[in-house]
Structure 1
């Protein structure tokens, strides 16, 4: 699929966080060019604004997962806050903040020394007890060069019998969830891409992929019906939430990292993704999560640069690989 010039121009008329990824993933620009654009994330646009909200101790909003002083009434009235350290680091990774810069290295050090999980007071980079939170900690930790191997070992031991993961395991769940499984898969892939692949992480990731593939990325295995209607709609940022595009973006990244062809079982999800493209070549932002944020980047119901970027790179990968035919 070759995106039209007008859509590319529209994507480029945006924030550095989007522009550098368009240059790398859609335009095949020389690395020196997209890296120069990526460097602007720290000093311009969304990345610079998010960094400006950082506390002196390295945290955001005074907490690892919950803002300092955020009461039960605040949770009921305003919803889950997305302003804290874990979500801010996740967003900076998505923006592409260069982890080798002095600002990034100083942040990692400060967070390690000052941020503690509200659940049990554990140091931030040690993780806590919930699989979704720990998986995202691995993903950002690997990105920023932190040793998160103890969290990886914990996640390896928490896989469900059906191949995936569920953050309700501690409450007795024996079935995996799409949400937790995609968070853990992204974590294992990031860990492996950083050069830490082991037979155990590969086997676990393969089992998690099969969990999603057997369900066509959105269906119940028992009935074939969509497991959740919202899996077929697109949001951004995803935070902990799963949707079909997040699943496809993961499989694209895994395929490119390992040199394997797309699995043909992704075809139905790809067809749905194509069906959601608007006549002008863009994709809409269907919804966003409730709760306080630092940045309002896009408006639900309107064309989304984030969704369009991710959709176009997925389709470009799929089409370049020959429509998803995997050799037997």
Structure 2
């Protein structure tokens, strides 16, 4: 079985480790996740400090209200993609965490305003506002930000797992507040008439962020349902994504950064590798597609972009992307160590 280094072309890690005044957070995360430097390593500490000093992270934080929100108070879903939830999620994906006081304030604000009375994450703070994709990327972000031991977060993830499995959740139309609502009408990642792959991968990201010894039986059952969904078919031909004229959404095959509610095939492989299933033979075609996207220097392009919509643009669409390359290397290293 080849190792991740044998599967990539050239030496993209050297590229990721270059001093970069535009996207310095890439270097920090490459040192942490690919090189594997310990948290207190002077080089890692310096790289993290650099990421907070220049580039997108300080620009995003500069736009924050001192109370913790962006643009306007409340649940933070609107406006896309500069509202509170989007801004905090982007910070998390760039390696920011609660050691920065403004990030901690933002996370506390989100926890106060997006967890519904039923305990799950909600785009509007009400029980009816649960959506798997939104709850999933927000739950995953909270773990990245350093809130994984916060009972509000672990309970929200547990509630998401219950919505996946149906455990203790009443049918839509019931008077029980712990019920399915319009956006999530039933178990098994249902959104509309079909399971939603975008919602499923976000849910798996959040649930798999919980360390295995701390996962409840419901969390483990939800993970198995997600794995069953993604291993049940060739991911390069699957029909449970948002369909375009009967075919998988073209966005499914466009790798990008950041990852909000729109999912891509690489994101599924990232999660499956995290769960220890990255080498499953049923993922062979998906890995083949991923590897075919790298150029001769082992770099992946930015195929899906939110530029012009966020507080800061991220690289150039269709050009080699350090962020997408970092995503690919992380997934490959987890699936094919050595």
The question of a shared fold, defined as TM-score above 0.5 by the shorter chain, is answered with: yes
User: Could you report, residue by residue, the CA deviation over 1:39-86 in whole angstroms, capped at 9, with x for unpaired residues?
Assistant: 43333322111111111221012150113xxxxxxxxxxxxx210111
Aligned to 1:43: 53
User: Does the residue aligned with 2:195 lie in a helix, a strand or coil?
Assistant: coil
Q: 1:173-188 maps to which residues of 2 (within 5 A)?
A: 173-188=192-207
**Alignment pair present for 1:306 and 2:306:** no
Runs of 4+ in 1 over 6 A off after TM superposition: 114-117
Q: Unmatched 5+ residue regions in structure 2?
A: 117-121, 167-179, 241-245
Q: Residue deviations 1:190-212, cap 9 Å, x none? A: 2x228641111011111111101
Q: Indicate conservation of the 8 Å contact 2:165/2:221, yes or no.
A: no
How far apart, in 2, do the equivalents of 1:83 and 1:127 lie? 23
Instruction: Give the Cα–Cα distance (whole angstroms) in 2 for the partners of residues 268 and 22 of structure 1.
Output: 26
The 5 A counterparts of 1:1-328 are 1-2=4-5, 7-13=12-18, 14=20, 15-31=23-39, 32=41, 33-63=43-73, 64-67=76-79, 81-112=80-111, 122=125, 128-142=129-143, 143-145=145-147, 146=150, 147-159=152-164, 168-170=183-185, 173-190=192-209, 192-193=210-211, 196-220=214-238, 227-255=248-276, 262-289=279-306, 292-320=309-337
Q: Displacement of 1:285 after TM fit?
A: 1.1
Change in 2 beyond 3 A, CA 1:49/1:198: same
For residues 123 and 181 of structure 2, what CA distance do their matches in structure 1 show? 20
Q: Distance in 2 between matches of 1:241 and 1:157?
A: 23
Change (3 A) 1:201 1:233: same
Q: Specify whether residues 167 and 212 from structure 1 end up closer, same or farther in structure 2 by C-alpha distance, changes over 3 A only.
A: farther
Distance 2:30 2:191 in 1: 43
Deviations 1:90-115 (A, max 9, x none): 11111111323433333333445577
Residue 160 of structure 1 and its aligned partner are, at CA, apart by: 7.0
Cα pair distance change 1:186/1:311, threshold 3 Å: same
Please give the TM-score of this superposition, normalised by the length of structure 2: 0.75
Relative contact order, higher structure (CA 8 A, sep 6+): 2
* TM-score between both structures, scaled by the size of structure 1: 0.77
Q: Distance in 1 between matches of 2:82 and 2:206?
A: 21
Q: 1:138 to 1:28 in 2, by over 3 A?
A: closer
Q: Which residue of 2 aligns with 1:70?
A: none
Aligned-pair RMSD on alpha carbons? 3.3
**CA contact 1:82–1:293 (8 Å) conserved in 2:** yes
Q: Corresponding residue for 1:71?
A: none
Contact 1:167–1:180 under 8 Å retained in 2: no
Shift in Å, 1:188: 0.5
Distance in 2 separating the partners of 1:176 and 1:56? 40
Comparing 177-186 and 165-174, the one that deviates more: 165-174
Q: Aligned-pair distance for 1:168?
A: 4.1
Alignment check: 8 A CA contact 1:216 1:265 kept: yes
- Aligned partners of 1:150 and 1:53: how far apart in 2? 30
The answer to whether the 8 Å contact 1:132/1:167 transfers is: no
Deviation, structure 1 residue 239: 1.0
Paired residues of 1:212 and 1:218 also in contact (CA < 8 A): no
Asked if 1 retains the 8 angstrom alpha-carbon contact of 2:123 and 2:131, the reply is no
Contact 1:61 1:84 in 2 (8 A): yes
Could you tell me how far 1:251 is from its partner in structure 2? Answer: 1.6
CA distance in 1, matches of 2:115, 2:282: 41
TM superposition shift of 1:263: 1.7
Unaligned residue ranges in structure 1 (runs of 5+) = 68-80, 322-328
